[in-house]
Amino acid sequence: MRSGFKRASYFLSSLLLLAGVILWLTLPNVSFSSSANSTGTTLGVRNSERHAALEKLHAQMMAGAQFAEEERDILRRLNRADT
């Protein structure tokens, strides 16, 4: 009787461990940003603030400020996307 209980206990423990590992591996890949920010005006405010900051950085780059090549590429791509 005890061996049957031990076997069931090991099976349940293994099953819970497997479920935990599966959740641990899949949940970091789930994006909650669309559901968390889908409503309200804060998303628009954030986007406008980010857009203004990127425009400011692009203007600094055009004025001759030092930027890494990757940063220049990103700012150029974002500027092309805006126009």
- Average pLDDT of the residues in 60-71: 93
Whole-number pLDDT of residue 45: 62
Distance CA 4, CA 15 (A): 16
CA atoms within 13 A on the CB side of 39: 1
Compare 42 and 9 and report the one with higher pLDDT: 9
Does the pLDDT at position 70 exceed 80? yes
Confidence label for 46 from pLDDT (cuts 50, 70 and 90): confident
The pLDDT value given to residue 26: 83
Cα 42 → chain centroid: 18
Per-residue pLDDT, averaged over 43-71, amounts to 87
